[in-house]
Structure 1
Amino acid sequence: MTPGGGEGVEVHHAHPTRDVDEAAVRAVVRVVCEGEGVVAESVGIVLADHATVHDLNREWLGHDYETDVVSFVLDEEARARGALDGEVYVDLDTAAERAPEFGVTMAHEALRYVAHGVLHLAGHDDATDAQRDAMRALEDRALAAAGI
Structure 2
Amino acid sequence: MSAIIDYQQAFEGDNAILAAIPSPADLETWANAVLACEGLEHQEVTIRFTDESESQSLNSEYRGKDKPTNVLSFPFEAPPGIEMNLLGDLIICAPVISREAAEQNKAVLHHYAHMTVHGILHLLGYDHIDDAEAEEMESKEIAILAGLDIENPYEV
Give the TM-score range, shorter chain. Answer: 0.7 to 0.9
- In structure 1, list runs of 5 or more residues that go unmatched: none
> Which of the two has higher C-alpha Rg?
2
Rate the CA distance shift 1:120–1:102 in 2: closer, same or farther, 3 A: same
Q: Distance in 1 between matches of 2:7 and 2:149?
A: 19
Return the TM-score normalized by structure 2.
0.78
Q: What percentage of residue pairs aligned between the two structures are identical?
A: 25
- Structure 1 partner of 2:88: 86
Q: Distance in 1 between matches of 2:42 and 2:105?
A: 30
Q: How many residues align?
A: 143
- Structure 1 partner of 2:133: 131
2:75 partner letter: V
Rate the CA distance shift 1:146–1:56 in 2: closer, same or farther, 3 A: same
Q: Distance in 1 between matches of 2:109 and 2:26?
A: 9
Alignment of 1:1-148 (within 5 A): 5-6=2-3, 8-16=4-12, 17=15, 18=18, 19-75=21-77, 83-148=85-150
Q: Is the 8 A contact 1:20 1:107 kept in 2?
A: yes
TM-fit CA distance, 1:137: 2.1
Q: Distance in 1 between matches of 2:88 and 2:95?
A: 22
Segments of 4+ moved more than 3 angstroms: 81-84
Return the TM-score normalized by structure 1.
0.82
Deviations 1:126-145 (A, max 9, x none): 11233223222222222232
2:100 partner letter: R
Q: Distance in 2 between matches of 1:49 and 1:56?
A: 11
Q: CA RMSD in A?
A: 2.5
- In structure 2, list runs of 5 or more residues that go unmatched: 151-156
2:89 partner letter: E
